[in-house]
Chains A and B, each alone.
Chain A
Amino acid sequence: MSSEGQISGEFFLSGDEACAEGALAAGCRFFAGYPITPATEIAERMSDRLPEVGGTYIQMEDELASMAAVLGASWGGLKAMTATSGPGFSLMMENIGLGLMLETPCVVVDMQRAGPSTGLPTMTGQGDMMQARWGSHGPYGIIALSPASPQELFDLTIKAFNLSEKYRLPVLVMSEESIGHMYEKVTIPVREKIKITPRRKPNVPPQEYLPYVPDDDLVPSMAIAGEGYRFHVTGLTHDEHGYPTMTAEAQDKLVRRLVDKIEKNRKAIIEVEEDGIKDADVVVCSYGISARVATVAIQRARAMGIQVGMLRLITVWPFPIERVREIAKNIKAFVVPEINYGQMALEVERAAAGMAKTILVPHMGGAVHDPETILDAIKQATK
């Protein structure tokens, strides 16, 4: 992997640009995508920058092809990524499913906008959060991260690549328009200071290699095309040979492992940011731009003497059920601001298990919350 063309230092970047630089810093050398507001700038930056680092950019004919090409490039040995928004995310679901089934490391960035359908293309939304978990058909586990600033878009895109290599699946970066188009200071460390997870290569000779024999963490090692391993992989339910195996037993074994490799490794994957939870009566649980807006409401509430804490989801999937449940025992209510009509709030409510109320502060999209609406909910929560 060439390091020429990589940059470091302090920059004033938009979220989209920071995302592209994060991918390059993580070692991404392939981008296949399709223009869509508000993710287009990621593609544009990648088209300029990838040739500078010895990588390949291609604009495919649609999002279905983009996702397929990303998977192909990953199997060809490159770290690969695409970026889109809601309408493209829906199209990519088919091949995200293939990526999950083939266990292909790659990153998919969804810069959300107001939906459903064409919606408000240039304005923000957070309505794809449940789709991130369940958008492709069938049972599977997924990892999705939610950055709250251009700096975090840089950092979490790197983390997404690392997680995708570690657990062998497409990892989603769920951001949205307001952060994608927001310009802020982004610090890019020198290459040596950036931790990169390499692909898990086979440790047996080609004649003994089977594509889906899992290691102890339930993740198999991955051979790439062209190195003599002569493997076959398929989107059909398969056994450890990679051969299609049409039995309920094979289905049970495979699907359990695809879900468990995330579920059983939750502790290592989940990341949250907490502030003032210890003595809180109310906790605001949020993610992305809504969490940033909530901090204003929290400041105002604390100034009024309300004991309010913040739980910010950095990994939205897997959802931190255990931490939410633990917090629920000691508080009156969670306040969940999100730019949709209630998606992560459902998870909060489920995790709280009735021990604390869940108060949704919805915003249908097109703008971020007025902090006063969140403050109202906080005040209401203390009653």
Chain B
Amino acid sequence: MKTTTIAPIGTHPLDEYLRTDRLPHIWCPGCGLGIILGTLLRAIKKSRLDIDKTTMVSGIGCTGRAAGYVKLDSFHVTHGRALPFATGLKLANPNLKVVAFSGDGDLAAIGGNHLIHTARRNVDMTVICVNNFIYGMTGGQLGPTTPEMGRTTTSRKGNTEKPFNIPYLVGAAGASYIARWTTAHVRQMERAFIEALQKKGFSLVEIISPCPTYYGRMNEQAAGLDQMRYYRYNSVVKHYANLAELDISLNGQIIVGKFIDVDKPYFPAPKGENGK
């Protein structure tokens, strides 16, 4: 029996959730975005969500392109504004399952104010934060999560700024669920996505992802495989770790796991709680 087949397009188990007429996607060979998107679609499938009511909002950047590849009601909005747009969407129709899919710059630089306020309000949505430590789409500039000494096109001698620790930031602001995994942790990522999708409140999953073309190439990890190996062998699972200790240094250890999972009042409050 032939056990390897060259399969036609349309037969992949995730094809029903993808705009297959737009594949292969624009992401580089070795980019982790396809892994994250595929894992999210698997999580959506496993969660048995109503696909018609599941919407995705993304911002600008390589990560922002994700919304264009999924066969959901999806919105590719302005830089940094995925979260407030998603807030409006959720408030208009609380029956929608809203997923925001954004990068480190989109969420924590230009979108930083919206990140902390959306977390503060504990808006009921799932946020996938793809952290590749760089601004990929514009050609490799530093971002708010670039590790100190990391080389980018705007920090050729090494980044001198301290980066954000996103779980710490979002935890302090008020999120209900925070987890971090890397693209090498595909099964754990999927479980985290399922939990985040089912969680009521602001649920953020940060995924460390390779950008071989820019971050990798400028920091001695030119192949996606180099970064994947680094994640695989330098990550430490520490569930419920102290958020303050989750900083990532250049080539240092990456602490992954589920850090926050609490039940608390979320926004918008379900009807019935205020007499309506």
Cα–Cα distance between A110 and B77 once the two chains are bound (Å): 23
> B19 contacts the other chain (Cβ, under 8 Å)?
yes
Tell me the chain A residues, 220-244 only, with Cβ under 8 Å from chain B.
Answer: 223-236, 243-244
Tell me the chain A residues, 189-219 only, with Cβ under 8 Å from chain B.
Answer: none
Cα–Cα distance between A32 and B75 once the two chains are bound (Å): 19
Q: Is the CB of B85 within 8 A of A234?
A: no
Provide the residues of chain B in CB contact with A226, threshold 8 Å: 52-53, 55, 73, 93, 95-96
Provide the residues of chain A in CB contact with B74, threshold 8 Å: 231-233
Would A229 and B92 be within 8 Å (CB), given that A58-B87, A72-B84 are in contact? no
Cα–Cα distance between A23 and B167 once the two chains are bound (Å): 40
Provide the residues of chain B in CB contact with A73, threshold 8 Å: 88-89, 91-92
The residue in chain A whose Cβ has the minimal distance to the Cβ of B67 is A232
Contact with A along B210-227 (1 / 0, CB 8 A): 000000000000000000
A231 to chain B, nearest CB (A): 6
Tell me the chain B residues, 6-65 only, with Cβ under 8 Å from chain A.
Answer: 19, 22, 51-53, 55, 57
Stretch of A75-83, A123-131, A278-286, A287-295 on the interface side: A75-83
Cα–Cα distance between A152 and B92 once the two chains are bound (Å): 28
Q: Is the CB of B117 within 8 A of A60?
A: yes
Cα–Cα distance between A237 and B92 once the two chains are bound (Å): 26
B113 to chain A, nearest CB (A): 5
Q: Is the CB of A230 within 8 A of B113?
A: no
The interface centre, meaning the residue of A56, A66, A74, A76 with most chain B CB atoms within 10 A of its CB, is A76
Cα–Cα distance between A227 and B93 once the two chains are bound (Å): 11
Q: Is the CB of B76 within 8 A of A235?
A: yes
Q: Is the CB of A77 within 8 A of B77?
A: no
Tell me the chain A residues, 26-63 only, with Cβ under 8 Å from chain B.
Answer: 30, 32, 56, 58, 60-62
Q: Is the CB of B93 within 8 A of A76?
A: yes
Q: Is the CB of A230 within 8 A of B85?
A: no
Would A244 and B93 be within 8 Å (CB), given that A32-B88, A68-B85, A230-B52 are in contact? no
Provide the residues of chain B in CB contact with A233, threshold 8 Å: 74-76
Q: Is the CB of A30 within 8 A of B91?
A: yes
Cα–Cα distance between A16 and B68 once the two chains are bound (Å): 40
Q: Is the CB of A232 within 8 A of B78?
A: no
Provide the residues of chain A in CB contact with B73, threshold 8 Å: 223, 225-226, 229-232
> B72 contacts the other chain (Cβ, under 8 Å)?
yes
Q: Is the CB of B96 within 8 A of A225?
A: yes
The interface centre, meaning the residue of B72, B77, B84, B86 with most chain A CB atoms within 10 A of its CB, is B84
Q: Is the CB of B91 within 8 A of A56?
A: yes
Q: Is the CB of A61 within 8 A of B68?
A: no
Q: Is the CB of B92 within 8 A of A68?
A: no
Q: Is the CB of B88 within 8 A of A69?
A: yes
Provide the residues of chain A in CB contact with B268, threshold 8 Å: 56
Q: Is the CB of A68 within 8 A of B77?
A: yes
> A95 contacts the other chain (Cβ, under 8 Å)?
yes
Out of B75, B84, B113, name the residue touching A75 (CB < 8 Å). Answer: B75
B53 to chain A, nearest CB (A): 5
Contact with A along B108-143 (1 / 0, CB 8 A): 000001100100000000000000000000000000
Provide the residues of chain B in CB contact with A351, threshold 8 Å: none
Out of A78, A223, A231, A234, name the residue touching B92 (CB < 8 Å). Answer: A78
> A372 contacts the other chain (Cβ, under 8 Å)?
no
Cα–Cα distance between A295 and B268 once the two chains are bound (Å): 49
Tell me the chain B residues, 78-106 only, with Cβ under 8 Å from chain A.
Answer: 78, 80-81, 83-93, 95-96
Would A235 and B78 be within 8 Å (CB), given that A62-B113, A225-B73, A227-B52 are in contact? yes
Cα–Cα distance between A73 and B98 once the two chains are bound (Å): 12
Q: Is the CB of B76 within 8 A of A75?
A: no
Provide the residues of chain B in CB contact with A77, threshold 8 Å: 92-93
> B191 contacts the other chain (Cβ, under 8 Å)?
no
Would A98 and B53 be within 8 Å (CB), given that A56-B92, A60-B84, A243-B68 are in contact? no
Out of B19, B67, B93, name the residue touching A234 (CB < 8 Å). Answer: B67
The residue in chain B whose Cβ has the minimal distance to the Cβ of A106 is B88
Cα–Cα distance between A72 and B74 once the two chains are bound (Å): 11
Cα–Cα distance between A314 and B81 once the two chains are bound (Å): 33
> A348 contacts the other chain (Cβ, under 8 Å)?
no
The residue in chain A whose Cβ has the minimal distance to the Cβ of B93 is A76
4 other A-B residue contacts (CB within 8 Å) besides A30-B92, A234-B68:
A62-B113, A74-B92, A80-B88, A225-B93
A-B contact pairs, 22 of them (CB 8 A): A30-B91, A56-B268, A60-B87, A61-B84, A61-B114, A62-B113, A65-B84, A65-B114, A65-B117, A68-B85, A69-B84, A73-B92, A75-B89, A76-B89, A225-B89, A226-B73, A230-B51, A230-B52, A231-B73, A231-B74, A233-B76, A234-B76
